[in-house]
Structure 1
Amino acid sequence: IGDSGKSFESVATEDVVSGSRLIQPVEYEYITDGHERHKLDFYAYEEKSDSKRPTLIWIHGGAWIVGDKSKIDPLAYRIAGLGKYNLISINYRLANDTAAPWPEIIYDVNAAIRWVKLNSAELGIDPDKLILAGESAGAHLAA
């Protein structure tokens, strides 16, 4: 992962809680319509760099009906820290939200990715090195 010299498999078996090296998140609206679910959290890697960083975009699980951007698998923090990546966790409208019939959830995820690319220079993100990941419903949306 990154220049850590470690494989994904070895990281998966380590203590995933220690040393993420990410700073506290900053919340952004990726669609400015006032909907509480159109927000993401940006965790910058703590070391400053003149170059743009790869970024892991995490999509929470919850059977498309529960969960939020604060539900990040500890392994995502660990991978981001070892790879010296930024981490972004996104919210999306849930399937039980009457304003979000299928496939609106997919549109939300796409809008978040578009926002990240459009704001990549300001955030120090390499827009050509985005990694999508998630768990359960989030993994489905990442695929």
Structure 2
Amino acid sequence: MRAIGWVLAGLFLAGPPALAQQQMASPPPSAFAPKRDLAYGPLPEQKLDYHPPVAATRSPPPLVVFVHGGGWERGSKDNATGVAKIRHFTGEGYAFATINYRLVPGATVEQQAQDVATAIAWLVAHARELGFDPDRMVLMGHSAGAHLAALVGTDPRYMHGQDLMLDQLRGVVLLDGAAYDVPAQMAAAGRFMRPIYTKAFGSDPARQRALSPIAHTAGPNVLSFLILHVRRDDGTRQSEALAAALRAEGSKVEVEGFEGRGLRGHVAMNRQLGEADYPATAVVDRWLSATFAPR
């Protein structure tokens, strides 16, 4: 468990209905430039960056929405997204958005999940002007961001609170998260991590359960998940447990482990995803291609 503590410690440093694709014209060349610090809500933290594909596409491209990590209390789109992701996914012809959200202790984890859903709703509402296909979106998160992405993908109250349905997300990609079952994570936490979890999830078992994605897998859920983890016991155990619970309710789930332990492996999955020689890049590419294929 001490290694897990170093993992998160390292990270600390570190609207309208969707438009059908055929109704959307390809965006003009002027649209193919990054748009940064776009406000998706009235609060200072509610900002996102939008990166269109590197080259113009014949039809509006799919969108990958990224949620950064940082132990629920640190990190931002500016320091915890990973440059390789942006370069790679926009080079593959996808649009890419990375969001900020309010942080603990100034906000609750419930509010953080709502910020994720609010950002998705704002992107859907502005899909035409940004130039992506709102019918082909995937939510991706790393570490604490993986927990939030999993929560939004399994507990419908967050998307429903923005007049969105879970099936408006084609899928969810989870990058080395572990708090999919919060009570189990807290029970196994060591002296370093327990205060961090308590700050985020409190001491009420009912609230801890409500903030556990695994507690919401009875459905409805997003229908496709890719769950990746490095070789650490808690991440492996919780990834497999979440996958089994989702499969039991009909979601299509792939789980894959990669070399790397402790802080180094955990950070590498975030920073190196998108690099051609990082093994997880090919796995994510294959999954995205299949997930964004015409239904």
Q: Does the 8 Å CA contact 2:72/2:109 hold for their aligned counterparts?
A: no
Aligned counterparts, 1:26-105, within 5 A: 26-31=36-41, 33=42, 35-70=43-78, 71-97=80-106, 100-105=107-112
Q: Deviations over 1:98-124 (max 9, x none)?
A: xx2231111111000000111111111
Q: Does the 8 Å CA contact 1:51/1:124 hold for their aligned counterparts?
A: no
Give secondary structure in 1 for the equivalent of 2:135. Answer: strand
TM-score by length of 1: 0.75
Give secondary structure in 2 for the equivalent of 1:139. Answer: helix
How many percent of aligned residue pairs carry the same amino acid? 35
In 2, the alpha carbon distance for the partners of 1:134 and 1:74 equals: 15
TM-score by length of 2: 0.38
What do you get for the CA RMSD once the two structures are aligned? 1.7
In 2, the alpha carbon distance for the partners of 1:52 and 1:23 equals: 15
Choose between structure 1 and 2 for higher RCO, CA contacts under 8 A separated by at least 6 residues: 1
Structure 1 range deviating more: 130-139 or 80-89 = 80-89
Would you identify which runs of 4 or more consecutive aligned residues in structure 1 move more than 4 Å? none
Displacement of 1:23 in angstroms is 4.6
Q: Deviations over 1:74-106 (max 9, x none)?
A: 452254134310110000001211xx2231111
Structure 2 residues not aligned, in runs of 5+ = 1-31, 151-295
- Aligned amino acid, residue 80 of structure 1: F
In 2, the alpha carbon distance for the partners of 1:116 and 1:124 equals: 10
Alignment length, in residue pairs?
Answer: 118
Give secondary structure in 2 for the equivalent of 1:103. Answer: helix
